[in-house]
């Protein structure tokens, strides 16, 4: 199975998220993550979808997305040609007096401590997937209380934009 | 001018040239019905017995005329009653606009009386749907809905209108409907050249025609194309009527109940040219063994159909009619000599494997349908229910004209035919409409007899009454060791009396020798007729491809 990162421009209409999500579940397409937000034009939102499947399925996913009336454009973001980022927030236990060693890892990863409490610390990290995964793994031994990830967002490198 | 939402709705329908609406009133659409009553009677409103009937009628109207069918229902149960009809239209790519009322906007999302989220419910069975939350958007939404329903691959669109929107006023200006563009942008010179090359090098071509031929009005272009290529033609259920059934190049249905010739041809051809067809499981059976020795050239308006069910070698995406026109212009008459062997193979299969049915025993459904064809000179519109009746109607009547075979192919909706026949008869008042039914299917929606009678529609409903859910029973017979679980109908319904109770003419047909007399009596009657035909419980549909088998391994009557 291959993985593909799709950037999808959609009309910022109510229901558009459920149309897209419904399409994936109804046709049995695998989806790793989906993130969505407004663009420079408030009438248009942009979704980043990480989908998985063989080549034929990935081709179908793009074609089926294109059939949705609210979908304006679908583009595949090729790994070499694009920048990917994901945001992670993780709350780790600090009860055993291990703040210093967590801080050290945070520094190495250029992450940020955004909340400190008597028995925990919340850390923010942005990076591509492998960096986020590596960081989450390193936090594991300290005891992760909770973790939340936004899913990947991405843009094409260089001067080009999705519209042309 | 300042108009209410309800008036804007009617104005927009008129703007789109809508002359008929199939609808059912209720609380959430009261304003619309009030406007309808006050409006000049340019829109004819047909009141069915059930909203499902309205949706099927709008669908039948669309299939028979090529125009958009319109249905209207109230919120909640009215809206959900449309759902089967919308799904039926969706699966067969029928242009339909369904309008539903909803509770007033302030009550939305509060589980108010008769509130359902109909846009949520119909999301997977519409091309698109809308909920109108501002009266100022109503006109543009309606215009978009008609555009979307007709543009590209056609299909149903639903518009949900909360009640308060229909009473609020806003400025309205008439507009000329946007012309529906033909999709021709992807029909490139390269795509045409490559198709021509494939056609020229093929010695054993086969055209597989589908519903797209009918919906793009490309029947005459397909005829020219097939004759130029000298290619035999097979048809999906939806494609019937898209190519003359009496033409020497025509082999008949392909697929689960296809003619053996069609199925054998698909396995032996070297080039399969799919025209507006989608390689559905009912056609291909085992996809791995389908047309396995052929190159596949796929012509379709919907890019997502290309490589969806089967891998194709070459494709042209675009309006079928435009593609065929381009190919017909570019094609030099092909060397028929090199195809002689193939064509004589096809014709010897045809002689060897004709459509046959046992002539012994009582009244045969196939014979009744053959006689309907003869007595109407093949000029009738045939709608069907679902099951054996549907396949017999597909096999035993020779369709030569597009839009004369109207059947639920994709969804297989029992109860579709009667509503569809009403819509077809209203859309084509000068045609004789028959609804071929099974007793099970007829019983599902026979309440629409009241509608046919009320509007004085001379539809002839032919119930092929085997006192069984015949098609399911046939599967139990062939593949479940004759365990007839819940498929024997021992009901004491008297369909003739039922017809009379609704005000229709009821006729019984039990003997072969009476077929012509009874059908003639039905044809001569000016109103709605129900002909109850007593047929054998164990008459079967042949050929049939057993589940999972390769398409050429058909079971026929004598195997
Ligand atoms: C709404 C609906 N329910 C169930 C089915 C499953 N089904 C397919 S054919 C069939 C039997 C149809 O019986 P009848 O209408 O008497 O026609 P026959 O096959 O006997 O001609 C059934 C139950 C269906 N297609 N549609």
What is the share, in percent, of chain A residues with pLDDT greater than 70?
100
Both B434 and B346 in one domain: the answer is: no
Q: Is B308 on the interface with A (CB under 8 A)?
A: yes
The DSSP-derived string for B213-250 is: HHHTT-HHHHHHHHHHHT--EEE-GGGTTSS-TTSTTE
Q: Do the strands B2-4 and A112-117 form a parallel or antiparallel pair, or are they unpaired?
A: unpaired
Domain membership of residue B46 as a residue range = 2-171
- Give pLDDT tens digits for B443-469: 999 999 999 999 999 999 999 999 999
Q: What percent of chain A has pLDDT over 90?
A: 91
Q: What is the DSSP string of B300-369?
A: ES-GGGTTTSS--SEEEES-HHHHHHHHHHHPPPP-SGGGHHHHHHHHHHHHHS------SSS--HHHHH
Quickly state the pLDDT bin for B60 (edges 50, 70, 90): very high
Active-site annotation holds for B175: no
CA B479 remoteness from chain centre: 28
| Rounded Cα distance, A112 and A106, in Å | 6
Report which ligand 1 atom has the smallest distance to the Cα of B489: 16
Residues A22 and A67 in one domain: yes
Which one-letter DSSP state was computed for residue A41? S
Helix (H, G, I), strand (E, B) or coil at A7: strand
Q: Average pLDDT over chain A, rounded to whole?
A: 95
Q: Is B123 on the interface with A (CB under 8 A)?
A: yes
Q: Which is the catalytic residue, given B444, B471, B495, B552? A: B471
The stretch B372-399 carries a mean pLDDT of: 98
Is residue A146 one of the residues assigned to a domain? yes
Q: Is B359 a catalytic residue?
A: no
Residue at a domain's end among B119, B144, B171 = B171
B322 domain-assigned: yes
Q: Is A27 on the interface with B (CB under 8 A)?
A: no
**Residues B394-419: what's their mean pLDDT?**
98
| Same domain, yes or no: A69 and A105 | no
Whether the pLDDT of residue B548 is over 90: the answer is: no
Digit-coded pLDDT (tens) for B230-258: 999 999 999 999 999 999 999 999 999 99
Per-residue pLDDT tens over the stretch A90-129: 999 997 779 999 999 999 999 999 999 999 999 999 999 9
Report how far ligand 1's centroid is from the alpha carbon of B494 (Å): 19
Which residues neighbour B174 within 8 Å (Cβ) at sequence distance 6 or greater?
Answer: B11, B15
Look at residues B207, B209, B238, B235 and name the one whose alpha carbon lies nearest to residue B91. B238
How many CB atoms neighbour CB B219 within 10 A?
A: 21
Percentage with pLDDT > 90 across chain B? 95
- What domain count does chain A have? 2
Residue A62 resides in a domain = yes
pLDDT of residue A164: 74
| pTM of the model as a whole | 0.97
Query: Domain with B289 in it: what CATH number?
Result: 3.40.50.1220
Gap between the Cα atoms of B501 and B276, Å rounded: 44
Residues B323 and B414 in one domain: no
Domain end (from B321, B352, B383): B352
B163 labelled catalytic: yes
Query: Does B501 have pLDDT greater than 70?
Result: yes
Least confidently predicted of B80-94, B185-199, B542-556: B542-556
pLDDT at B278 over 80: yes
Distance CA B544, CA B527 (A): 37
Partner A, chain B 132-171, Cβ-Cβ below 8 Å: 148
Q: Where among A76, A96, A112 does a domain terminate?
A: A76
Question: Does one domain contain both B122 and B10?
Answer: yes
Within this chain, do residues A32 and A57 fall inside the same structural domain, yes or no? yes
CATH number of the domain bearing residue B61: 3.40.50.970
Task: Read off the pLDDT of residues A58-99 as tens digits, 9 standing for 90 and up.
Answer: 999 999 999 999 999 999 999 899 999 999 999 999 977 799
ipTM of the complex: 0.92
Both B131 and B214 in one domain: the answer is: no
Put the strands of the sheet holding B460-465 in their side by side order.
B405-406, B381-384, B433-438, B460-465, B529-534, B505-509
Angle in degrees, 0-180, between the axes of helices B51-65 and B416-427, rounded to the nearest 10: 50
CATH number of the domain at A126, please: 3.30.70.1150
Mean pLDDT of the B430-446 span: 98
- The residues, any chain, with a CB within 8 Å of residue A104's CB and separated by 6 or more, are none
Q: Does B549 score more than 80 pLDDT?
A: yes
**Which of residues B352, B373, B394 is at a domain's end?**
B352
Q: Which of A80, A20, A79 is nearest to A49 (CA)?
A: A20
Taking alpha carbons only, the member of B160, B138, B149, B13 closest to residue B82 is B160
Residue A12's domain spans which residues? 2-76
pLDDT at B556: 86
What's the pLDDT band for B559 if we cut at 50, 70, 90? low
- Active site residue: B51, B115, B370, B534, which one? B51
How far away, in angstroms, is B120 Cα from ligand 1 center? Answer: 28
Report whether pLDDT(B115) > 80: yes
Does residue B69 carry a pLDDT above 80? Answer: yes
Quick check: A18 and B303 CB within 8 A? no
Mean predicted confidence (pLDDT) in B184-196:
96
Number of domains in chain B: 3
């Amino acid at each position: 199975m291959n993985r593909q990162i799709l950037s999808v421009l959609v009309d910022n209409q109510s229901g558009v998220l459920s149309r897209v999500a419904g399409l994936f579940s109804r046709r049995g397409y695998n989806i790793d993550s989906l993130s969505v937000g407004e663009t420079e034009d408030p009438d248009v939102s942009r979704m980043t979808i990480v989908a998985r499947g063989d080549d034929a399925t990935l081709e179908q996913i793009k074609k089926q997305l294109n059939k949705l009336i609210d979908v304006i454009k679908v583009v595949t973001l090729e790994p070499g040609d694009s920048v990917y980022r994901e945001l992670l927030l993780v709350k780790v236990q600090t009860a055993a007096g291990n703040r210093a060693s967590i801080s050290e890892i945070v520094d190495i990863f250029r992450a940020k401590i955004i909340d400190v409490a008597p028995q925990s610390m919340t850390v923010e990290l942005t990076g591509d997937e492998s960096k986020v995964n590596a960081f989450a793994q390193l936090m594991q031994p300290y005891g992760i209380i909770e973790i939340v990830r936004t899913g990947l967002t991405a843009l094409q490198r260089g001067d080009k934009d999705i519209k042309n | 001018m300042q108009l209410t939402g309800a008036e804007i709705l009617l104005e927009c329908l008129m703007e789109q040239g809508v002359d008929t609406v199939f609808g059912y009133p209720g609380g959430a659409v009261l304003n619309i019905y009030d406007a309808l009553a006050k409006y000049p009677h340019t829109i004819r409103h047909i009141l069915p017995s059930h909203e499902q009937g309205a949706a099927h009628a709008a669908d039948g109207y669309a299939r028979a005329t090529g125009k958009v069918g319109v249905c209207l229902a109230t919120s909640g149960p009215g809206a959900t009653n449309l759902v089967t009809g919308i799904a039926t239209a969706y699966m067969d790519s029928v242009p339909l606009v369904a309008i539903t009322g909803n509770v007033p906007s302030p009550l939305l999302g509060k589980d108010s009386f008769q509130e359902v989220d109909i846009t949520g419910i119909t999301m997977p069975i519409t091309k698109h749907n809308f909920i109108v939350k501002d009266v100022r958007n109503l006109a543009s939404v309606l215009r978009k809905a008609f555009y979307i329903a007709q543009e590209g691959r056609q299909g149903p669109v639903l518009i949900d209108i909360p009640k308060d929107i229909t009473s609020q006023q806003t400025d309205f200006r008439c507009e000329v409907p946007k012309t529906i563009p033909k999709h021709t942008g992807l029909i490139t010179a390269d795509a045409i050249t490559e198709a021509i090359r494939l056609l020229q090098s093929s010695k054993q071509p086969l055209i597989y025609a589908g519903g797209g031929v009918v919906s793009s009005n490309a029947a005459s272009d397909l005829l020219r194309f097939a004759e130029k290529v000298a290619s035999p033609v097979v048809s999906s259920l939806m494609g019937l009527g898209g190519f003359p059934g009496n033409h020497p190049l025509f082999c008949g249905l392909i697929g689960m109940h296809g003619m053996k010739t069609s199925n054998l041809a698909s396995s032996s051809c070297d080039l399969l040219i799919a025209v507006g067809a989608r390689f559905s499981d009912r056609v291909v059976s085992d996809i791995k063994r389908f047309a396995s020795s052929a190159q596949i050239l796929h012509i379709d308006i919907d890019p997502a159909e290309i490589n969806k069910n089967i891998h194709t070698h070459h494709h042209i995406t675009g309006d079928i009619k435009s593609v065929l026109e381009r190919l017909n212009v570019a094609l030099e008459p092909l060397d028929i000599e090199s195809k002689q062997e193939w064509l004589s193979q096809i014709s010897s299969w045809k002689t060897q494997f004709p459509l046959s049915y046992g002539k012994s025993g009582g009244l045969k459904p196939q014979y009744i349908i053959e006689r309907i064809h003869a007595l109407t000179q093949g000029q009738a519109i045939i709608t069907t229910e679902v099951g054996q009746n549907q396949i017999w109607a597909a096999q035993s009547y020779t369709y030569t004209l597009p839009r004369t075979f109207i059947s639920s192919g994709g969804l297989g909706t029992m109860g579709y035919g009667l509503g569809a026949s009403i819509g077809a008869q209203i859309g084509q008042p000068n045609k004789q409409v028959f609804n071929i039914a099974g007793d099970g299917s007829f019983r599902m929606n026979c309440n629409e007899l009241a509608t046919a009678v009320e509007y004085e529609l001379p539809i002839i409903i032919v119930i092929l009454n085997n006192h069984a859910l015949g098609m399911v029973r046939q599967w139990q017979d062939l593949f479940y060791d004759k365990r007839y679980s819940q498929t024997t109908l021992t009901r004491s319904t008297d369909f003739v009396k039922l017809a009379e109770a609704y005000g229709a003419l009821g006729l019984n047909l039990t003997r072969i020798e009476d077929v012509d007399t009874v059908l003639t009596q039905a044809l001569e009657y000016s109103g709605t007729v129900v002909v109850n035909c007593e047929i054998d419980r164990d008459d079967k549909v042949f050929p049939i491809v057993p589940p999972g088998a390769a398409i050429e391994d058909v079971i026929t009557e004598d195997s």
